[in-house]
């Protein structure tokens, strides 16, 4: 199959420092006979200047319109804006963390009208239920979380003035994590390593057993019953909501009444905000303006946590997605979806139709959510 044109536009969402591919990833695609067009300064936030892409055969373009028009395959990171989608060409393949189930209906309609094939990295799912692309970002975000929790519990940030690890005569911070997936597990291990007192809740006993093995006695695991949730939020210094249903809007776990049970200046982090949020009190924030106070509780609802580690995140993303991009470019769409069944499960919209069952069940994004944008 002859080489195809691939576009890497610059991310335009607030505080988004990642880019879809490192120069090494571009080099691999160029070596395979493909042409890769990189928008000017697309890699700057991750520390990859235009020259780094030129040196490996990438071609730099200087307008958003050209960045989209050049490629048969468009590789993004963050969920597309309406402006991004306005540049989408008929029949293009769009890949990225699209989060369509929590977004606006007009985005889905544009994808349908353009006959685009939209593949969401967060819904690429293997037969065993694992999410190979989302896994990498969740691991990185989980390992970043101690520095975020530690910062926003500080007195100068309006927090309770509690240190994660405590010290002799002073107990450590009490941190509650609801959701024992990849993020929740990595966050629990990282927080325990920082000597915080960690509690992990989930509805899946098997997931709790996996976390318990990783923690090796350095944390507490509990079933996420209403009783247990009410109990732990009342003594927590920080509560992390890490609930996830692949391809679906996140269910509400934290009602306003539950938030009200938290002590004043407790830190609440809604890690599920990119899929709509797991609390009635959550709304999108950014790294530049990360918190707000609701019901006396500090809310942190930043959807792209790993973006602040732009270079590391881009390396991890390239590692996870390059095999799929090589297949899409080298084999063509149908053959790639056959070669990688998990990639086929990541297709959200194709040929004017909504394909992913989670997106269909959510009414194709008919109503905007707390995280919808």
Residues 179 and 275 in one domain: yes
CATH code, domain with 321: 3.40.50.720
Confidence of residue 366 (pLDDT cuts 50, 70, 90): very low
Confidence of residue 364 (pLDDT cuts 50, 70, 90): very low
Residue 87 has pLDDT above 70, yes or no: yes
Residue 20 has φ and ψ, to the nearest 5°, of -65, -35
Q: Which of 251, 285, 303 is the last residue of a domain?
A: 303
Which residues share a beta bridge with 299?
268, 292
In the three-class reduction of DSSP (H, G, I as helix; E, B as strand; rest coil), residue 349 is classed as strand
pLDDT of 369? 43
For residue 355, tell me if it sits in a domain: yes
Residue 371 has pLDDT above 80, yes or no: no
> pLDDT tens-digit profile of 114-159?
999 999 999 999 999 999 999 999 999 999 999 999 999 999 999 9
> pLDDT tens-digit profile of 179-213?
999 999 999 999 999 999 999 999 999 999 999 99
Reading the block at residue 238, the tokens are 């920080």
Mean pLDDT within 84-97: 95
The rounded distance, in Å, linking the Cα atoms of 274 and 352 is 24
Reading the block at residue 207, the tokens are 């997931």
Confidence of residue 372 (pLDDT cuts 50, 70, 90): low
Residues 97 and 140 in one domain: no
Structural domain span for residue 140? 134-303
Mean pLDDT within 240-257: 92
User: Beta-carbon neighbour count of residue 226 at 10 Å?
Assistant: 10
Confidence of residue 3 (pLDDT cuts 50, 70, 90): confident
For residue 371, tell me if it sits in a domain: no
Mean pLDDT within 52-65: 96
> pLDDT tens-digit profile of 304-361?
999 999 999 999 999 999 999 999 999 999 999 999 999 999 999 999 999 998 888 7
In the three-class reduction of DSSP (H, G, I as helix; E, B as strand; rest coil), residue 358 is classed as helix
Q: Is the whole-model pTM more than 0.85?
A: yes
Residues 179 and 295 in one domain: yes
Mean pLDDT within 223-233: 98
For residue 327, tell me if it sits in a domain: yes
pLDDT of 362? 67
Provide the number of structural domains found in the chain. 2
Mean pLDDT rounded to a whole number for the chain: 94
Choose, from 34, 99, 248, 315, the residue flagged as catalytic: 99
Residue 302 has φ and ψ, to the nearest 5°, of -85, 125
Distance of CA 7 to the CA centre of its chain: 21
DSSP state of 318: H
Residues 350 and 264 in one domain: no
The rounded distance, in Å, linking the Cα atoms of 34 and 26 is 9
270 carries an active-site annotation: no
356 carries an active-site annotation: no
Q: Which of 303, 321, 354 is the last residue of a domain?
A: 303
Residues 87 and 28 in one domain: yes
Residue 367 has pLDDT above 60, yes or no: no
Residues 298 and 317 in one domain: no
pLDDT of 105? 84
pLDDT of 102? 82
Residues 298 and 158 in one domain: yes
The rounded distance, in Å, linking the Cα atoms of 124 and 347 is 8
Q: Which of 287, 303, 319 is the last residue of a domain?
A: 303
Choose, from 270, 274, 299, 356, the residue flagged as catalytic: 274
């Amino acid at each position: 199959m002859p080489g195809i044109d691939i576009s890497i536009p610059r991310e335009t969402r607030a505080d988004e420092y990642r880019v879809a591919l490192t120069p090494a990833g571009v080099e691999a695609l160029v070596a395979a006979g493909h042409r890769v067009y990189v928008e000017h300064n697309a890699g700057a936030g991750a520390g990859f200047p235009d020259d780094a892409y030129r040196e490996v055969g990438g071609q730099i373009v200087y307008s958003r319109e050209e960045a989209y028009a050049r490629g048969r395959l468009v590789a993004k990171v963050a969920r597309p804006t309406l402006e991004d989608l306005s540049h989408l060409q008929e029949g293009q393949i769009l890949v990225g963390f699209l989060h369509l189930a929590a977004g606006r209906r007009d985005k889905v309609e544009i994808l349908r009208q353009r006959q685009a094939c939209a593949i969401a990295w967060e819904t690429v799912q293997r037969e065993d239920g694992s999410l190979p692309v989302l896994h990498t970002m969740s691991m990185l975000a989980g390992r970043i979380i101690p520095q975020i929790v530690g910062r926003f519990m500080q007195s100068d940030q309006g927090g309770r003035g509690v240190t994660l690890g405590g010290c002799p005569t002073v107990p450590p911070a009490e941190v509650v994590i609801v959701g024992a997936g990849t993020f929740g597990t990595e966050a629990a291990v990282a927080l325990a390593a920082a000597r915080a007192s960690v509690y992990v809740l989930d509805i899946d006993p098997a997931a709790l057993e996996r976390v318990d093995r990783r923690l090796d006695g350095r944390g507490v695991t509990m079933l996420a019953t209403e009783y247990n949730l009410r109990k732990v939020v009342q003594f927590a210094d920080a509560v992390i909501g890490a609930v996830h249903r692949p391809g679906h809007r996140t269910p509400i776990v934290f009602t306003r009444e539950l938030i009200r049970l938290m002590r004043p200046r407790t830190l609440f982090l809604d890690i599920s905000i990119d899929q709509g949020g797991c609390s009635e009190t959550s709304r999108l924030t950014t790294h530049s303006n990360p918190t707000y106070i609701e019901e006396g509780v500090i809310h942190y609802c930043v959807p792209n946590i790993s973006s602040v580690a732009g270079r590391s995140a881009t390396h991890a993303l390239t590692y996870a997605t390059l095999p799929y991009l090589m297949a899409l470019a080298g084999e063509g769409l149908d053959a790639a979806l056959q070669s990688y069944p998990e990639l086929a499960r990541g297709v959200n919209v194709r040929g004017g139709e909504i394909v992913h069952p989670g997106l269909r069940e959510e009414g194709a994004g008919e109503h905007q959510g707390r995280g919808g944008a």
